[in-house]
Amino acid sequence: MTSRYRARPIEETALQELRVRDDAGRDCVPCTDGEGGAPLRCCLRTSEAGERIALVSYAPLRRWAARTGADPGAYDEQGPVFIHAGDCGGPAGDGGYPFARAGVQRTARRYDARGHILGGRVLDLGEDPDGEIERALDDAFAEPDVALVHLRFAEFGCFQFEVHRP
């Protein structure tokens, strides 16, 4: 499937900062992934056993707001994400929407240009997970006030990736 929207990983400048100190002010503590399967937000794929990764606190809306001049106020939040401990080169191409697989739930959270939440939707990803995400993004961007959408894991609320208005 060719996606109409671009899933955006964490930007390289932010990754360089997070690999030193995260958005909660904690030092980055890399480890060797013994099992694999961690959802990496730097390259939008799951980790493989033996890779060096780190679990860091990331504030995606805060960083977007700093670039755009928005003021999310109380909607600013931070949470845990996995990243490679060193440069990984980013995503390897357009393979649909990362971390989308049949039978899981995701949340599509909508934000306006101020960084305020406009609403959201829980997605039940069935036999066509990429198509379900695509339809949710179509619905979100049909609202003229939606500036960006965060896709999150429904179970923990963790940030997956963001999509900007096309």
Residues 44-90 pLDDT 10s: 999 999 999 999 999 999 999 999 999 999 999 999 999 999 999 99
* Residues 125/101, Cβ–Cβ less than 8 Å: yes
Binned at pLDDT 50, 70 and 90, residue 94 comes out as: low
- Rounded distance between C-alpha atoms, residue 27 and residue 20, angstroms: 6
* Residues 132/122, Cβ–Cβ less than 8 Å: no
Pairing of strands 39-40, 31-32: unpaired
The residue-averaged pLDDT of 137-160 equals 94
Q: Nearest to residue 42, comparing CAs of 51, 114, 34, 109?
A: 51
With tokens 């980055």, the residue in question is 28
Binned at pLDDT 50, 70 and 90, residue 2 comes out as: low
Domain segments of the chain as ranges: 12-84, 104-164
The CA angle 92-101-112, to the nearest 5 degrees, is 75
Alpha-carbon Rg for the chain, nearest whole angstrom, is 15
> Side chain identity at 6, as an amino acid letter?
R
User: What does the block give as tokens for 104?
Assistant: 């899981």
- Report CA-CA distances (Å) from 60 to 9, 63, 132, 154: 10, 5, 23, 17
